[in-house]
Chain A
Amino acid sequence: MGSYILKRLISAVPVLIGITVIVFLIMAMIPGDPATAILGSYATPDNVAKLNRDLGLDKPLVARYFIWLGNMLTGDFGRSFSLNRPVLDEILERFNATLILAGTSFVICSVLGVLAGVVSAARQYGLADKAITFVVLIGISIPSFFLGMMMILLFAVNLKWLPVSGMYAIYGGGDLPDLLSHLIMPAAALSVVATGVIARLARSAMLEVLRQDYIRTARAKGVGEGRVVYGHALRAAMVSIIPVLGIQAGFVLSGSVFIEIVFQWPGVGRMLVDAILKRDILLVQGGVVFVAACYVFFNICVDVAQSLLDPRIKT
Chain B
Amino acid sequence: MRFLSLLFRNRLAAMGAVVLSLIVLLVLLIPVLPLQDPDVTNTADRFLPPLSEGHLLGTDHLGRDLLARLLYGTRLSLAVGLFAALIAGTIGSAVGIVAGYFGGRIDNVIMRGIDMLMAFPYILLALAIVAALGPGLLNALIAVAAVNIPFFARNIRGITVGLAGREFIDAARLSGMGHGRIILTELLPNVLSTIVIAMSTTVGWMILETAGLSFLGLGSQPPQADLGSMLGEARSSMITNPHTSIVPGIMIFLIVMSINLLGDGVRDALDPRLRSGALARPQARTMVRRKAPLPADDGKGLLNIQRLETQFHVGKRVYRAVNDVSLHVNAGECLGVIGESGSGKSVTALSVMGLVASPPGVITGGAVRYEGEDLLAAPYESLRKKRGEKVAYIFQDPLSTLHPLYRVGDQLAEAIQVHHRVSDAEARAKAIELFRSVRIPNPESRIRNYPHEMSGGMRQRVGIAMALANDPDVIIADEPTTALDVTVQAQILSLLDDLRRERGLAIVFITHDFGVVAQLCDRVAVMYGGRIVEQGTTTDILDRPAHPYTKRLMACVPELGGGKRELAAIPGLPPIVSDLPPGCAFAPRCHKATPACREGEIALDGGDARAVRCIHPEEEIA
Contact = CB atoms under 8 A, between A and B. Distances in A.
Contacts of A220: 353, 355, 387-388, 392-393, 395
A62 interface: no
B132 A26 contact: yes
Contacts of A206: 281
Interface of B: 12, 112-113, 115-117, 119-125, 127-135, 204, 208, 211-212, 215-218, 231, 235, 238-239, 242, 245-246, 249, 252-253, 256-257, 260-261, 278-282, 284-285, 350, 353, 355, 357, 384-389, 392-393, 395, 397, 400-406, 414-415, 418-419, 450, 452-453, 466, 469
- 4 tightest Cβ-Cβ pairs between the two chains A and B: A18-B116, A141-B257, A250-B121, A146-B249
A172 to B, nearest CB: 23
Contacts of B395: 213, 216-217, 220
A54 to B, nearest CB: 20
A251 B212 CA distance: 13
Contacts of B466: 217, 221
A29 B133 contact: yes
A218 interface: yes
A311 B129 contact: no
A142 interface: yes
> Main SS of chain A's interface residues?
helix
Contact of A311 (B130, B285, B418, B450): B450
A22 B252 contact: no
Given A138-B257, A143-B208, A312 B124 contact: no
A25 to B, nearest CB: 9
A149 B238 contact: yes
Contacts of B392: 220-221
Given A251-B122, A292-B120, A124 B281 contact: yes
Given A22-B117, A292-B120, A262 B217 contact: no
A213 B123 contact: no
Interface residues of A, number: 83
Contacts of A215: 282
Interface in A250-286: 250-251, 253-255, 257-258, 261-262, 272-273, 275-277, 279, 281, 284-285
B284 A239 contact: no
Given A257-B127, A311-B453, 7 more contacts: A22-B117, A149-B235, A220-B388, A249-B121, A254-B122, A273-B217, A292-B124
A19 interface: yes
A116 interface: no
Nearest to A235: B405
B120 A30 contact: no
Nearest to A293: B119
A149 B231 CA distance: 10
B215 A276 contact: no
A36 to B, nearest CB: 13
A143 B211 contact: yes
- Which of B121, B281, B402, B469 is packed against the most chain A CB atoms within 10 Å? B121
Contacts of A310: 404-405
Contacts of B453: 311
A295 B212 contact: no
Interface in A223-252: 223-225, 227-228, 232, 235-236, 239, 249-251
Contacts of A164: 239
Interface of A: 15, 18-19, 21-23, 26-27, 29-30, 121-122, 124-125, 137-138, 140-143, 145-146, 149-150, 152-153, 157, 164, 204, 206-208, 210-225, 227-228, 232, 235-236, 239, 249-251, 253-255, 257-258, 261-262, 272-273, 275-277, 279, 281, 284-285, 288, 291-292, 295-296, 299, 309-312
Contacts of A272: 127, 131
B385 A222 contact: yes
Contact of B260 (A137, A253, A258, A312): A137
6 contacts: A141-B253, A146-B231, A207-B281, A254-B123, A292-B119, A295-B120
B519 to A, nearest CB: 25
A124 B281 CA distance: 7
A276 B281 contact: no
Contacts of A152: 238-239
B619 to A, nearest CB: 38
Given A221-B388, A276-B127, A121 B281 contact: yes
A125 B453 CA distance: 38
B131 A253 contact: no
A153 B239 contact: yes
Contacts of A285: 128
Contacts of A213: 395, 397, 400-401
Given A137-B257, A141-B257, A145-B215, A216 B404 contact: no
A211 B278 CA distance: 9
A311 B124 contact: no
Contact of B418 (A223, A276, A284): A223
A15 B121 contact: no
A30 to B, nearest CB: 5
A235 B403 CA distance: 10
Nearest to A252: B121
B239 A145 contact: no
A143 B249 contact: yes
B80 to A, nearest CB: 15
A221 B417 CA distance: 10
